[in-house]
Amino acid sequence: MASSSGFPAYVLEQLTRSVPGGDFTARKMMGEYCLYYRDKLIMEICDDQLLVKPTPTVLALMPDADRAYPYEGSKTLMAVVDHRAARGAHGGGIRGAARPQNKSPRAERQ
């Protein structure tokens, strides 16, 4: 299922409020969204779930964050927002936690 257009707008608004003057953009790709900071990919939104690249800084700030696979065959990303809470009037916010997703869709088929 593709992400709604309202959720990426909400995330961009929250990021812009958090980092005044921050140069955040979103690009729609195959029904989902990639979020960029100063033209560098930093996050993805898949099925209205916010996923962050596990950089050293992100790992230091969110060491226990759940991992998720945005699509089959992808690398894991850090899950930040539970998509079910986000669909409910963005109730999960950026600080919400996602349900654990420890297996790759590829591994589930085997």
- Name the pTM for this structure: 0.66
| Segments making up each domain of the chain, as ranges | 6-109
d(CA 89, CA 70): 22
Predicted confidence (pLDDT) per residue in 97-108, tens digit? 333 343 444 444
Q: What is the per-residue pLDDT for 83? A: 52
Give the strand order in the sheet containing 40-46: 24-29, 32-37, 40-46, 49-52, 77-79, 67-68
**Residue 6: band (very low, low, confident or very high) from pLDDT cuts 50, 70, 90:** confident
Q: For residue range 22-63, list pLDDT tens digits in order.
A: 789 999 988 789 999 999 999 999 888 889 988 899 899 988
